[in-house]
Structure 1
Amino acid sequence: MGGAFVAAAILARLGSRIGLPTIPLFILAGILLGPNTPGFVLLDDPHDLEMLSALGLVLLLFYLGLEFHMDDLKTGGRKMAVAGCTYLALNVGAGLGFGFALGWGTSEALVLAGVLGISSSAIVTKILVDLGRIGSPETKPILGIIVVEDIFLALYLAALQPVISGADDLGAMAVDIGKAFGFLLVLAVAARWGTGLIGKLFAIKDNELLVISFLGAAVLISGIAETFGVADAIAAFMVGLILGNTTSGDRIRDLVHPLRDAFAAIFFFGFGLSIAPGDLPTVIWPVLIAIVITVSMNLLAGVFTARIYGFGPKPAANVATTLLARGEFALILATMAAAAGLDQRLSPFIAGYVLILAVVAPLVAGRSHWFARLMPGGREASGQAEVVSADADAEPAGSRS
């Protein structure tokens, strides 16, 4: 664990000198020191960091929930649902079509639909934090899309498991979906009507006790959620949403910062440990085609989201590029596919696809203005900005206030 922290810190410090984001560097540290690359191996088994990685994911999504206010959900719930469903329809639909086009099998196509269709909540959250966009107007629809994705994820996993394992018990599938939906409903009711009571429970003056309390609540409820078939990420988000709207919300937000940053580094390091870059050449062409499809669908989803919210080209590009990364959910699907004995090409495909997008997405998100020109009205807006800049430069110095 100490080696993981130090390796991540060294690479991140080196990267910061040339302006690289931390996410791909943390992942790179895991790849270089993991069992899938030659040289020194810090950890033979990536599962050794599994619990710490899970804690990193929980804290990232918990923090995201703290930044998401109930008023935003009440006033923009319909728009968020439309934007999220549009994003899923485009990306999951394209992933399903791509899976069938590969001809690897129906179960494999269903797995690929999820791999190409669902963003990485952890990477998206870290990008928003690193780029200082938490308070930007387009961040609200981005968070809304993540919420819709995670709700879909809970139902999708419940339905997918018996399908890819060859089970034909529709009753058991219905029970699993019902349990997941019921647990989400309980969290939603608590977020809507239980904030006052919960706020009293967390009205704690001592910072030490407050940290123990909110950390215990986030981890416990995330763990319970998993037993109901709900992703721990969405449960952590909901706990953050509830606590962020209490009187202690601002203090909790400040206190969780160092915990979030430390364990997020371990999450991405552990992510890198599980990737075997040597397997990538065997599936490089399907991976590259899938990346082109994902970028195209994200740009299209950014355009639709911008129209729903009345945004211009730049926010539309921010939405499209921020949601580009794929990550932890895709690796979960790879594990499920391997356990079910599906096509052996799935694992290296998913690893290569996730690795490239996890590295590229933070870089692209930081340069989203390049993609803004591809959006409707992007060239005109760019031209107007250049004209305004030229006019400002041409003004006499004495005429400026």
Structure 2
Amino acid sequence: MSTETTLLFNITLMLVIAGICSILLKKIKLPAIIGYIFAGFLLSPYIFQEVVINQDLVSIFSSIGIVLLMFYIGLELNLGGLKKVASYAATIVIIEMPLMVIIGYTAGVLMGYALGEALFLGVVISCASTAVVLGIMRDNKNIDYRLSRAVTGILVLEDIGFIIILAVASPIMGTTSSGSIFSTLLIIAIFIGITVVIGLTIIPRFLEWVNKHYPGEILFLVGTGFAFGLALISSSLGLSEAIGAFLAGILISQADCCDTMIRKVEPMKEMFMAIFFLSIGMQLDPTLMWSGLGLAILIAVIFVLGKVLSIGIGCMVANFRSRSAFFVATSMVAMGEFSFVVAKQALDANVITNGLYASIVGAAVITMIALPLVSKSSPKLFNWFVKHLPKRAFETLDRMENSRLEVRAKVARSEHAKHMIRRQLLYVIIDVVYVIAVLLGINVLVLLYSTGQVILFIVAVVMVLPALVHMSKRMRVISEIMVSTIPNESGKDRSKRLQAFKFFNNVNSMALFVLMLGIILPLLPKPEGLPISPIGIVLALAIVVWLAWDTINSRYDKVAAILSRSFTDLKEDDDHH
């Protein structure tokens, strides 16, 4: 057959088989996405070897589907919607992703894997599939508009977070990375900053001019061309093409012609997304899948339980009701498509075996198939869980839930409490910036001076410890401020206040621990040739710092006071103006 005939045959076969499979599965009330994956499995070279589908063609169409999906999501969300979800979505992701890496790493160690393999497992389960989650969420009646925006914001930030985690973990896993953690953060900040600043100034006005003077199809070509251009730049910088496409949608959403773009993009997005899901099914090797089925199921279970737990904790910190937190968590239990890419890189670098690679791919597919069933059944699962909780545990959790919501509501109405919390959070931010600045400075010195690395490591630990202690104290003060709105007159009130304080203090401390773990571990210098383990040095230094605490603490207090006074003075000047 000629090239043109082969191309038409491949496209026809993929679309027809995908359509037939989705219709059949819809008859038994399964989502169309599962039909697409099954169609890909049927068209894979492992089933009908006589039917050969061009893998490069499928890969290209899949990438187009991801770009169009994220472009469409950006158009629908718009800048105003992104601002509303950014704060609590960031809170959830900062807590959830490090927890998932820790859960995966711990599971890998318990299963007997080496450091690189265990860390690889933690990395690949840290991110959910943007395409699968958003594709299935449209049919999920349990997710309303507010929760769907939250899920979208979490997924976008997860894509960014995954790039950062991969940059940190790649040297330890033994795979290649696009750069250091510092260069990766710098690239992300510069790319997003320049794109947003220049884009908001030019793009909406230019598209409105095109819409006014030219037909709708030209508007569609210009808009999608801009989306693919940003996706190309994003990909060439080592980031996900999804980030660039999403930014393009956000920028174009500020134009008055946004609704026209949404109507024109949607049909093409649907077709290419079907091929994306079909490509997932084509990667399934039945022989490898069967040999590693037990491990694949175990990894899938670890991912689902870990995702529900970590996102649930993040949502609770972000003040979601427990029911809403459970719905958000269960709507994201599909391993990301990035896991296929990272697994292939790790396999090529001999970090993992063929068996673990096949199990990771199998686990990802299992979660993608399970997601629509889990998310659809989330109300029944939540009610079952509540019903089967021991009475005492239910009463304790119920009191904590009511206290948490009551305290948050009272704090929202108290200007004094909000002012005090903001002030303490400002101190925490200063402490975090101080820790990052110290560690980055020490890393620069480590690069400049090959000798004395152990001394620099000791200096870094001594300089960072006071800030960590201060942050812990300030989180405790925030917890005290939050519960100060609860009356303290009767014994019942005092008991309620104590329970609320324990809850907020534990949650705030855990959030701080996860945040610091994600900052300190990647940035703490790792000198070669240490006579004892870094953990031993840290413990020894902790004893030294404790003995000399008064001197170190007084010096740090002076630095923090100067910085906080400067920020406060600037804020008061802004208020006066």
How many residues are matched? Answer: 375
**In 2: Cα distance, 1:173 partner to 1:296 partner:** 29
Offset at residue 17 of structure 1 (A): 2.1
**In 2: Cα distance, 1:74 partner to 1:147 partner:** 13
Question: 2:193 is paired with a residue of what secondary structure?
Answer: helix
Q: What residue number does 1:200 align with?
A: 205
**Is 1:91 aligned with 2:91?**
no
In the alignment, which of 350, 362, 371 is matched to residue 381 of structure 2? 371
Contact (CA 8 Å) 2:137, 2:331: kept in 1 or not? yes
What code does the residue aligned with 2:286 have? P
1:155-180 deviations in Å (ceiling 9; x for gaps): 2333444544467x997664455334
Contact (CA 8 Å) 2:333, 2:367: kept in 1 or not? yes
1:292-340 deviations in Å (ceiling 9; x for gaps): 2222222223433443454445432321121101131110111111221
**In 2: Cα distance, 1:170 partner to 1:303 partner:** 32
In the alignment, which of 269, 272, 276 is matched to residue 260 of structure 1? 269
Contact (CA 8 Å) 2:108, 2:117: kept in 1 or not? yes
Offset at residue 247 of structure 1 (A): 1.3
Offset at residue 261 of structure 1 (A): 0.3
Contact (CA 8 Å) 1:314, 1:368: kept in 2 or not? no
**Is 1:37 aligned with 2:37?**
no
Q: For residues 84 and 172 of structure 1, do their structure 2 counterparts lie closer, same or farther at Cα, with a shift above 3 Å needed?
A: closer
1:209-265 deviations in Å (ceiling 9; x for gaps): 111111111111111111101111122112112212321221111111101100000
**Is 1:124 aligned with 2:129?**
no
Q: What residue number does 2:194 align with?
A: 186
In the alignment, which of 330, 336, 352 is matched to residue 362 of structure 2? 352
In the alignment, which of 213, 218, 235 is matched to residue 222 of structure 2? 213
Q: For residues 229 and 181 of structure 1, do their structure 2 counterparts lie closer, same or farther at Cα, with a shift above 3 Å needed?
A: farther
Offset at residue 278 of structure 1 (A): 2.1
Question: 1:229 is paired with a residue of what secondary structure?
Answer: coil
> Which structure 1 residue ranges, 5 or more long, are not aligned?
381-401
Offset at residue 40 of structure 1 (A): 4.9
Offset at residue 135 of structure 1 (A): 5.2
**In 1: Cα distance, 2:196 partner to 2:97 partner:** 21
1:271-310 alignment to 2 at 5 Å? 271-310=280-319
1:24-80 deviations in Å (ceiling 9; x for gaps): 11111111111123565342x533311111000111111111222322332342211
What code does the residue aligned with 1:187 have? T
**In 2: Cα distance, 1:170 partner to 1:324 partner:** 28
**In 1: Cα distance, 2:205 partner to 2:388 partner:** 49
In the alignment, which of 4, 14, 18 is matched to residue 8 of structure 1? 18
Q: For residues 185 and 375 of structure 1, do their structure 2 counterparts lie closer, same or farther at Cα, with a shift above 3 Å needed?
A: farther
Q: For residues 66 and 73 of structure 1, do their structure 2 counterparts lie closer, same or farther at Cα, with a shift above 3 Å needed?
A: same
Offset at residue 111 of structure 1 (A): 1.9
**In 1: Cα distance, 2:94 partner to 2:248 partner:** 23
What code does the residue aligned with 2:375 have? A
1:30-179 alignment to 2 at 5 Å? 30-38=40-48, 40-43=50-53, 46-131=55-140, 136-165=145-174, 174-179=182-187
**In 2: Cα distance, 1:304 partner to 1:324 partner:** 15
Question: 2:107 is paired with a residue of what secondary structure?
Answer: helix
What code does the residue aligned with 2:150 have? P
Identity of aligned residues (%): 27
**In 2: Cα distance, 1:364 partner to 1:134 partner:** 13
In the alignment, which of 318, 336, 344 is matched to residue 335 of structure 1? 344
Offset at residue 151 of structure 1 (A): 0.9
Offset at residue 152 of structure 1 (A): 0.9
Q: For residues 69 and 7 of structure 1, do their structure 2 counterparts lie closer, same or farther at Cα, with a shift above 3 Å needed?
A: same
1:63-111 deviations in Å (ceiling 9; x for gaps): 1112223223323422111112222133222112222223332222222
Contact (CA 8 Å) 2:143, 2:328: kept in 1 or not? no
1:118-139 deviations in Å (ceiling 9; x for gaps): 1000001101223367752211
Contact (CA 8 Å) 2:93, 2:158: kept in 1 or not? yes
What code does the residue aligned with 2:97 have? L
In the alignment, which of 11, 28, 34 is matched to residue 18 of structure 1? 28
1:377-396 alignment to 2 at 5 Å? none
1:260-285 deviations in Å (ceiling 9; x for gaps): 10000011111211221321233233
* Higher RCO, 1 vs 2 (CA within 8 Å, ≥6 residues apart): 1
**In 1: Cα distance, 2:181 partner to 2:318 partner:** 36
Q: For residues 207 and 170 of structure 1, do their structure 2 counterparts lie closer, same or farther at Cα, with a shift above 3 Å needed?
A: closer
Offset at residue 186 of structure 1 (A): 2.9
Contact (CA 8 Å) 1:61, 1:236: kept in 2 or not? yes
Q: What residue number does 1:317 align with?
A: 326
> Which structure 2 residue ranges, 5 or more long, are not aligned?
1-10, 395-577
What code does the residue aligned with 2:193 have? L
Q: What residue number does 1:387 align with?
A: none
Contact (CA 8 Å) 2:334, 2:371: kept in 1 or not? yes
